[in-house]
């Protein structure tokens, strides 16, 4: 069962039980206490803490998470990974223990045919807090025998956030993997054999003091009992896929396979190499997902974590013997594996790949020069019979060559040395103090956020762009490479802050404005506008001339581009309203992006739109455009806007006073800070391009508007004209003609396949003569290049019959670019314990792939078509060694 299917089964299960599907928040969720989202409940924290009322009684999500505290353990164990996905169902004052336990048991043990995960109920074990008899009784009620329920203490089975707030007992679900993984006795005996896949938290108490995991004070019962669950998707995946660990599931293993191909080393051959393979697979995937969500390599905070991950990949591949650039080989493999679950990777790929490859190139230069110095320092240390690399050497590697201290410590450990970390930290502290005293030195990297904060302290930057596109203003601040400066020179790219601005900063899915800022002796091209901290608008500009701090300037927005953005943004609101009207009120916004001529809208929906429904949505949107509805915006209290039915986006934080954009009265009312046309007729026309899934329970529509939409219609009309001329039919008959041609083509393909099969079968008799005796079994191994699928199976079955009743095994290797393997055994061979399912695994391993099937017939494939002889030889060797 593919990872994406496990996820969709989970989300669909709870969606059918009235849970609101909440899309995954970005890994960069706006929580000042977190570097990254590290748990599935993070987006729901305000509701659990009581800071905000929950907008729903029930919710379900599959949340992207990153944890990096155990980064050094990645690869060394099969439990630690940096990026993972947490499945969760949540209830706020709704169902409690009984509902959560029943739902979990039904999904975990429900048959695959009915949408469940299909685990054997006899292999399910659970834990409960000591003395939580209610939970024990409820598990017994659903069918878990008492001997499969174990009680544990507060450290294991009580949940809280480590701070005053909600808490409660929890109950964990484990799956028995079998005696080959460890001793019997449940989770208390062995947590490798008994693998935890799900934790159900029963929030029922408010804690006033928290001293340790198992030492806290309970203030009172919570006014509402809540459910917070978390199931590790990767853990469920490797159980359902029958592999040994999370590194071997379908979303991770392809990177290991590629790394093995590049290095010429075999995964599984020795533990040290396996650790490096697993580090590579984990870090490539984590880096891909972090960059997709907007992180770029850097020297601080999130950027530093990403840089460390990418550099550990390069370092691990070097230790596997690969000195050439590797990310350009590995990152696309991870992209292909993750794309079915996260289609947004495609949109970000250009930025992601460019950033990753540049980081590797930079690090390669660092390694080349810095490793020479490191080796020299190690030689000096060993010559002096010491076991510690001096802290000043580690600092020099960091300061001169950009070696992260973690990398130096890893390399030193490989040489049997430690690092004087205390001296290193002392030198780093001195450097930071010098940097603060003289920002121009900028050693160790500047803290760009500090520059933003200092400018923000001077006051808000008013946005005047709702009414004015040309504003006379003053340059309040200039930031270059994260440091505030007093001027910018010709040819540089800097960030500037104005006293007030007409430029719209990217937000709410709307692209930033473009334009120019001109003054005496300078002209600035505005290439991006952002709000790095609330209240501060920062313009990224290319400088022509000399720009001094405090200069008077005229800020001019590109009016045509702004109008295009307004058209697209208003069209987004129209599509949202049309979807809610035609699909249902649950089709709520899950994200959007709009720019001149183009809009993209994501919405919650358990299923896709039919062609007819897509046509209806497009028609309804164009009806609203033609109706020339006035588009108005007004400021009001948040409560008033919600009372009027204004749509708000989940996860967004809204101030007490909000801006509500309205068209056609209650048909479309949304909280929105973006810019819009004055009336819908200004949009012109909307062309709905596509509708697709971007994740379980979330759909995406894309459309063109205005002249871009018209151009698309014109291109489609030209295509129709060309087809009608080529096929010599009227436009009304075009579909019928094409369907007839397709049917004819399919008939021809079937005829060709039939002829090919007949030809193969006609030559089967001559192939039987190639059978040889191997340890008392007639074995026929044949390469059939270009033959695959059904023809190969038919040939294998025919050859098996021709070999007669004595023990016989047939192994065929066919296929074209990618090899296909078939193994068939007769009844006599199976009586000797020779199952096709086991033999196909042997063959496919040689081909660089996997296979499976029944004892009589099994099929698989691989990646290396040149390894067909080795695959046949491997099956023969398995027959020779069966005794």
Question: Is residue 661 within 8 Å of 670, Cβ to Cβ?
Answer: yes
Q: Which helix (H) or strand (E) holds 636?
A: strand 631-637
* pLDDT, tens digit, 9 for 90 and up, residues 477-487: 999 988 899 99
Read off the pLDDT of each residue in 331-343 and give the average, rounded to a whole number: 94
**pTM of the model as a whole:** 0.52
- One DSSP character per residue, 210-228 reads EEETTEEEEEEEEEEEEEE
Domains of the chain: 3-243 (3.30.930.10), 251-372 (no CATH), 382-445 (no CATH), 449-557 (2.40.30.130), 562-713 (3.30.980.10), 763-880 (3.10.310.40)
At residue 589, the pLDDT reads: 84
At residue 355, the pLDDT reads: 83
Tokens at 678, concatenated: 């004055």
Strand pairing report for 698-705 and 598-604: antiparallel
SS (H, E, C) 447-514: CHHHHHHHHHCCCCCCECCCCCCEEEEEEEEEEECCEEECEECCCCEEEEEECCECCCCCECCECCCC
Helices 405-414 and 301-319 sit at what angle, rounded to 10 degrees? 30
d(CA 126, CA 149): 5
Tokens at 72, concatenated: 């050094």
* pLDDT, tens digit, 9 for 90 and up, residues 251-310: 999 999 999 999 999 999 999 999 999 999 999 999 999 999 888 787 777 888 898 899
Question: Is residue 186 within 8 Å of 219, Cβ to Cβ?
Answer: no
Q: Which helix (H) or strand (E) holds 9?
A: helix 3-15
Q: Which helix (H) or strand (E) holds 238?
A: helix 233-240
At residue 653, the pLDDT reads: 61
d(CA 114, CA 108): 12
Q: Phi and psi for 492 in degrees, rounded to 5?
A: -85, 160
d(CA 267, CA 256): 7
Question: Is residue 93 within 8 Å of 57, Cβ to Cβ?
Answer: yes
Tokens at 774, concatenated: 């191997």
Question: Is residue 452 within 8 Å of 532, Cβ to Cβ?
Answer: yes
Looking at 264-300, list the stretches that DSSP marks H as alpha helix, in order from N- to C-terminal side.
271-292
Tokens at 831, concatenated: 């009586």
Q: How high does pLDDT run on average in the chain? A: 88
* pLDDT, tens digit, 9 for 90 and up, residues 593-612: 999 999 999 887 768 899 99
* pLDDT, tens digit, 9 for 90 and up, residues 435-474: 555 533 332 333 356 788 778 778 889 999 999 999 999 9
Burial class (CB in 10 A: 0-12, 13-18, 19+), 655: exposed
Annotated binding site: 569, 573, 672, 676
- DSSP secondary structure letter of residue 179: G
At residue 53, the pLDDT reads: 76
SS (H, E, C) 126-141: EEEECCCHHHHHHHHH
Annotated binding site for Zn(2+): 569, 573, 672, 676
Helices 271-292 and 253-263 sit at what angle, rounded to 10 degrees? 120
Tokens at 544, concatenated: 């022509």
Q: Which residues face 593 on adjacent strands?
A: 600
* pLDDT, tens digit, 9 for 90 and up, residues 658-703: 999 999 999 999 999 999 999 999 999 999 999 988 765 678 999 9
Q: How far is it between the farthest Cα atoms of the chain?
A: 97
CA angle 354/360/365 to nearest 5° reads 130
At residue 441, the pLDDT reads: 36
Question: Is residue 603 within 8 Å of 576, Cβ to Cβ?
Answer: yes
Contacts of 714 (CB under 8 A, 6+ apart): none
Residue 368: pLDDT band with limits 50, 70, 90? confident
At residue 443, the pLDDT reads: 29
Q: Rg of the Cα trace of the chain? A: 32
């Amino acid at each position: 069962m593919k990872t994406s299917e496990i996820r969709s089964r989970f989300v669909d299960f709870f969606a059918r039980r009235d849970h609101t599907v909440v899309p995954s928040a970005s890994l960069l969720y706006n929580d000042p206490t977190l570097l990254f989202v590290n748990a599935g409940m993070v987006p729901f924290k305000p509701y659990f803490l009581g800071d905000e009322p929950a907008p729903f009684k029930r919710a379900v999500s599959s949340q992207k998470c990153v944890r990096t505290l155990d980064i050094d353990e990645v690869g060394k164990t099969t439990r630690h990974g940096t990026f993972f996905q947490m499945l969760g169902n949540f209830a706020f004052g709704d169902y409690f223990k009984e509902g959560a336990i029943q739902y979990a048991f039904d999904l975990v043990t429900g048959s695959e045919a009915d949408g469940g995960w299909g685990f054997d109920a006899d292999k399910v074990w659970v834990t409960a807090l000591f003395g939580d008899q209610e939970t024990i009784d409820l598990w017994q009620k659903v069918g878990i025998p008492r001997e499969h329920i174990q009680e544990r203490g507060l450290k294991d089975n009580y949940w809280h956030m480590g701070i005053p707030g909600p808490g409660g007992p929890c109950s964990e679900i484990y799956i028995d993997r079998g005696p080959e993984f460890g001793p019997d006795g449940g989770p208390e005996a062995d947590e490798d054999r008994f693998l935890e896949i799900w934790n159900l938290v029963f929030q029922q108490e408010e804690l006033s003091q928290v001293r340790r995991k198992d030492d806290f004070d309970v203030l009172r019962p919570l006014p509402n009992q809540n459910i917070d669950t978390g199931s590790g998707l990767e853990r469920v995946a490797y159980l359902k896929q029958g592999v040994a660990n999370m590194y071997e599931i379908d979303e991770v293993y392809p990177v290991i396979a590629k790394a093995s191909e590049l290095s010429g080393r075999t995964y599984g051959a020795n533990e040290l190499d396996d650790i490096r393979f697993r580090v590579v697979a984990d870090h490539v995937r984590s880096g891909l997902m972090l960059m997709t969500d907007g992180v770029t390599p850097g020297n601080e905070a999130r950027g530093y974590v990403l840089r460390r991950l990418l550099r550990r990949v390069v370092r691990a591949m070097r230790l596997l013997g690969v000195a050439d650039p590797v990310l350009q080989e590995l990152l696309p493999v991870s992209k292909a594996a993750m794309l079915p679950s996260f289609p947004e990777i495609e949109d970000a790929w250009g930025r992601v790949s460019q950033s990753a490859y540049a980081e590797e190139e930079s690090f390669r230069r660092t390694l080349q020069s810095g490793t020479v110095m490191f080796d020299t320092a190690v030689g000096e240390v060993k010559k002096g019979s010491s076991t510690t690399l001096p802290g000043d050497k580690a600092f020099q590697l960091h300061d001169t060559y950009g070696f992260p201290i973690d990398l130096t410590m890893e390399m030193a450990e490989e040489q049997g040395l430690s690092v004087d970390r205390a001296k290193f930290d002392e030198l780093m502290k001195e450097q930071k103090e010098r940097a603060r005293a003289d920002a121009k030195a900028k050693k160790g990297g500047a803290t760009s956020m500090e520059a933003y904060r200092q400018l923000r302290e001077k006051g808000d930057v008013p946005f005047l762009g709702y009414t004015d596109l040309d504003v006379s203003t003053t340059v309040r601040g200039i930031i270059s490479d994260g440091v505030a400066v007093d001027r910018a020179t010709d040819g540089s790219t800097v960030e500037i802050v104005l006293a007030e601005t007409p430029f719209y900063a990217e937000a709410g899915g709307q692209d930033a404005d473009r334009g120019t800022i001109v003054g005496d002796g300078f002209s600035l091209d505005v290439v991006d506008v952002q709000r790095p901290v609330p209240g501060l608008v920062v313009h990224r500009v290319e400088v022509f001339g000399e720009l001094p701090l405090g200069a008077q300037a005229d800020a001019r927005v590109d009016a045509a581009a702004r109008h295009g953005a307004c058209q697209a943004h208003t069209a987004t609101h129209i599509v949202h309203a049309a979807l809610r009207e035609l699909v249902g009120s649950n089709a709520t916004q899950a994200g959007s992006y709009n720019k001149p001529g183009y809009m993209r809208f994501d919405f919650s929906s358990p299923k896709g739109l039919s062609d007819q429904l897509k046509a209806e949505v497009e028609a309804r949107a164009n009806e609203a455009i033609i109706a020339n509805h006035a588009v108005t915006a007004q400021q009001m209290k948040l409560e008033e806007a919600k009372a009027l039915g204004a749509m708000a986006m989940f996860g967004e934080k809204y101030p007490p006073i909000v801006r509500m954009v309205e068209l056609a009265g209650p048909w479309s009312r949304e909280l929105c800070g973006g810019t819009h046309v004055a009336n819908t007729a200004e949009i012109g026309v909307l062309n709905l391009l596509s509708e697709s899934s971007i994740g379980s329970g979330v759909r995406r529509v894309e459309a063109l508007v205005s002249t871009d939409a018209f151009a698309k219609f014109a291109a489609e009309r030209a295509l129709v004209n060309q087809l009608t001329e080529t096929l010599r039919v009227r436009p009304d008959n075009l579909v019928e003609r094409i369907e007839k041609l397709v049917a004819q083509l399919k008939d021809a393909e079937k005829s060709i396949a039939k002829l090919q099969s007949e030809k193969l079968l006609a030559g089967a008799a001559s192939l039987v003569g190639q059978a040889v005796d191997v340890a008392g079994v007639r074995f026929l191994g044949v390469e059939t290049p270009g033959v695959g699928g059904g023809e190969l199976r038919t040939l294998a079955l025919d050859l098996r019959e021709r070999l007669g009743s004595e023990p016989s095994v047939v192994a065929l290797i066919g296929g074209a670019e990618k090899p296909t393997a078939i193994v068939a055994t007769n009844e006599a061979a199976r009586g000797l314990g020779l199952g096709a399912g086991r033999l196909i695994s042997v063959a496919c391993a040689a081909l660089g792939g996997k296979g499976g099937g029944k004892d009589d017939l099994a099929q698989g494939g691989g990646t290396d078509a040149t390894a067909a002889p080795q695959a046949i030889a491997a099956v023969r060797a398995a027959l020779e060694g069966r005794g």
